Structure 1
Amino acid sequence: MNAIIITGGDIDLSLLESYISQNRYATVISVDAAVKKLEEINKMPNVMVGDFDTLTDESRLEHYAGLGVEIVRHNPVKDFSDSELAIDWAYKRNISEIVVFGALGRRFDHTFANILLLQKYKKLGVDITIIDRFNRIYVKSNPFILEKRSVWGKYISFFAIREKVLIESLTGVAYPVENKYLDNIESPSLFISNEIVEDYMSVIFNGEILVVESRD
């Protein structure tokens, strides 16, 4: 099972509309006032999650409840962000693949917390991908291959989840690597802005890495 979560950051509405249309069997989860973004593209959520401190129109909630949308309301005084609560709702229903729109934006605290959620739920068996117009971000815990024509943009970057990760082999890119540490302390920017130059890129590593596919 998979889900699409729409939260409160910056969203390219045409990208969101296209993705929902292409994944019509996914569970669509709206976080707090993000339902307004769905209304702009005439898409319905299956679930609405949040404390609804930014969606103060009770009649809107009543409207969606009347249409059969599940409303999951939380107390504003809580230990988790609305985005995390939405992910947790999906996790507890055995949804193992989640794409999140609106996880990046002007609030760096929320952006950084959303990035950290990728690691938390990866350990629980959930693959989460954050998407916006310029980036596709996810965590990998095993060696993998990427096809050049399928990546999000021109650049591919890697970051260690913990302090450092041994990259045993990175091939098919402009700057290949063999037995070099991805180290957040000593060389945090060493593995950014590489480019896939062959049909496929392959990376073999030991640990967990954050992968960012990006474009200008």
Structure 2
Amino acid sequence: MNAIIVTGGDIDLSLLESYISKNKYTIVISVDAAVKKLEETGKLPNVMVGDFDTLADEKRLEYYAGLGIEIVRHNPVKDFSDTELAIDWAYKRNITEIVIFGALGRRFDHTFANILMLRKYKKLGVDITVVDRCNRIYVKSNPFILEKRLVWGKYISFFAVKEKVFIESLTGVAYPVENKYLDNIENPSLFISNEIVDDYMSVIFDGEILVVESRD
């Protein structure tokens, strides 16, 4: 099962609409007031999650409930962000693939927390991808191959999830690598802004890496 989550950060509405239309999702989840952004695309969620302090419109919530949309409401005084509560709702229903729109934006605290959640739920068996107009971000824990024509943009970057990760080989890129550590202390920017130059890129490593496909 898979899901798309729309949360409160910056969202390119045309990209969101296109993504929903071109991809099949079991369920669409909106977080707090992000339902307004979904409305602008002509879409409605299956589920709404949050404390709804940002939406702050009881009549609107009643209207959505009347349409058969499930409302999962939380106390504003809580230990988790609304976005994490939405991810957790999906996880507890055996959803194993999630794409999130609106996870990046002006609030760096929320952005950073959202990126950290990628690893938390990867360990629980959930593959989460954060998407915006310029970036596609996810965590990998096993060697993998990327096809150049399918990457999000021109650039591919890697970051160690823990302090360091041993990269056995990185091939098919402008700057190939053999037997080198990706180290957040010694060389945190060493593996950014590489480019795939062959039809496929391959990376073999030991550990967990954060992958960022990006474009200007």
TM-score class normalised by the smaller sequence: over 0.9
Q: Deviations over 1:132-161 (max 9, x none)?
A: 000000000000000000000000000000
Match status 1:120 vs 2:124: no
Structure 1 residue 25 displacement after superposition: 3.8
Q: Distance in 2 between matches of 1:34 and 1:167?
A: 39
- Residue in structure 1 matched with residue 67 of structure 2 by the alignment: 67
Structure 1 residues 15, 62: closer, same or farther in 2, change over 3 A? same
Structure 1 residue 23 displacement after superposition: 2.6
> What does 1:47-196 align with in structure 2 at a 5 Å threshold?
47-196=47-196
- Residue in structure 1 matched with residue 209 of structure 2 by the alignment: 209
Q: Deviations over 1:38-95 (max 9, x none)?
A: 1111101000000000011101100010000000000000000000000000000000
Q: Distance in 1 between matches of 2:40 and 2:104?
A: 19
- Residue in structure 2 matched with residue 35 of structure 1 by the alignment: 35
RMSD in angstroms over aligned alpha carbons?
0.6
The alignment-based identity, stated in percent, is 88
TM-score under structure 2 length normalisation? 0.99
Q: Distance in 1 between matches of 2:116 and 2:26?
A: 23
Q: Distance in 2 between matches of 1:163 and 1:128?
A: 21
Q: Distance in 1 between matches of 2:102 and 2:108?
A: 12
Q: Distance in 2 between matches of 1:19 and 1:196?
A: 24
Q: Distance in 2 between matches of 1:124 and 1:98?
A: 13
TM-score under structure 1 length normalisation? 0.99
Contact 2:4 2:25 in 1 (8 A): no
**Greater CA deviation, 20-29 or 120-129?**
20-29
Counterpart residue identity of residue 8, structure 1: G
Q: Deviations over 1:170-215 (max 9, x none)?
A: 0000000000000000000000000000000000000000000000
Q: Distance in 2 between matches of 1:128 and 1:28?
A: 14
Q: Distance in 2 between matches of 1:44 and 1:95?
A: 19
- Residue in structure 1 matched with residue 11 of structure 2 by the alignment: 11
Q: Distance in 1 between matches of 2:97 and 2:139?
A: 12
Structure 1 residue 24 displacement after superposition: 4.0
Q: Which 5+ residue runs of structure 2 have no aligned equivalent?
A: none
- Residue in structure 1 matched with residue 198 of structure 2 by the alignment: 198
Structure 1 residue 28 displacement after superposition: 0.3
Structure 1 residues 84, 177: closer, same or farther in 2, change over 3 A? same
Paired residues, what number?
A: 216
Q: Distance in 2 between matches of 1:24 and 1:177?
A: 36
Q: Distance in 1 between matches of 2:86 and 2:135?
A: 21
Q: Deviations over 1:80-129 (max 9, x none)?
A: 00000000000000000000000000000000000000000000000000
